[in-house]
Amino acid sequence: MKLTKKNKLIQENFDSNDFHPIINAIEKLKTAPKAKFNESVDVAISLGIDPKKSDQNVRGSVVLPNGTGKTVVVAVFADGDKAEEAQKAGADIVGFEELASSIKAGKINFDVLISTVEGMKEIGKLGQILGPKGLMPNPKVGTVTNEIEKAVQNAKAGQVQFRAEKGGIVHCGIGKIDFSSENLQDNLITLIDKIKKLKPASAKGIFIKKINISSTMGPGLNIEIASLSK
């Protein structure tokens, strides 16, 4: 297959087998041929776990110190005082029965759905719709809570959710390619520190096995894990 000029440049200048200190990897990634849009920067983290074992499921959320560069539309499933709290906190969509009806009708125009603990009785009925889209509220990522104000603020401030997928790999966005190298570095270190705290007790050996950083249309670069230590 004939390579495009962009792919040829990437192939000539980026070796996927090399390992780089974190700041070097980010700065090198920034030199890759640019797309016509502000690309996302993503990380793939290979963990030393067996995701088939329920006690080795790694899932959580963290607020990145420099945000994600994305505008997040937040919906809150609540009524009464909690609905008012959500509106004051800056939620874009707030509702209960009417929000449930909207979701059933396929009108899902939000990126994050937060629910009060009580509201999960109704949200549970929407699992077949929300689950496949990754929008089902979950207490492990802070989206099932009665601390509505905090949850909305976190979602708006750059909170990312993550979970170990098949093969024990966590995929997560850490910002945009136009972020400074230092801001991307801080975001990645914050994410890694959070994941380390979630290491299952039954997981033995090396926990963080490999880290690869990439942009939407760019190459993937391996990071020297030791360089992530603060």
Question: Does an H or E element contain 87, and which?
Answer: helix 80-89
Query: Domain 74-157 classified CATH 1.10.357.10?
Result: no
Q: What is the pLDDT along the chain (230 residues), one digit of tens a residue?
A: 544 555 555 555 556 678 889 999 999 889 888 888 999 999 999 999 998 898 998 999 999 999 999 999 999 999 999 999 999 999 999 999 999 999 999 899 999 999 999 999 888 899 999 999 989 999 989 999 999 999 999 999 989 999 998 889 999 999 999 999 999 999 999 999 999 999 999 998 999 999 999 999 888 899 999 888 75
CATH topology assigned to domain 18-67+159-228:
Ribulose 1,5 Bisphosphate Carboxylase/Oxygenase (3.30.190)
In this prediction, residue 103 carries a pLDDT of: 93
Identify the burial level of 118 via C-beta atoms within 10 angstroms of its C-beta, where 0-12 means exposed, 13-18 middle and 19 or more buried.
middle
Long-range contacts of 144-150 (CB under 8 A, 24+ apart): 144/114, 144/115, 144/116, 144/117, 144/120, 145/114, 145/116, 145/117, 146/82, 146/116, 146/117, 148/76, 148/78, 148/82, 148/85, 148/86, 148/89, 148/114, 148/116, 149/85, 149/86, 149/88, 149/89
For the sheet with 40-47, list strands across it.
19-20, 220-223, 208-215, 40-47, 169-176
In this prediction, residue 2 carries a pLDDT of: 47
Cα–Cα dist 74/86, whole Å: 10
In this prediction, residue 143 carries a pLDDT of: 94
Domain boundaries of the chain, sorted by first residue: 18-67+159-228, 74-157
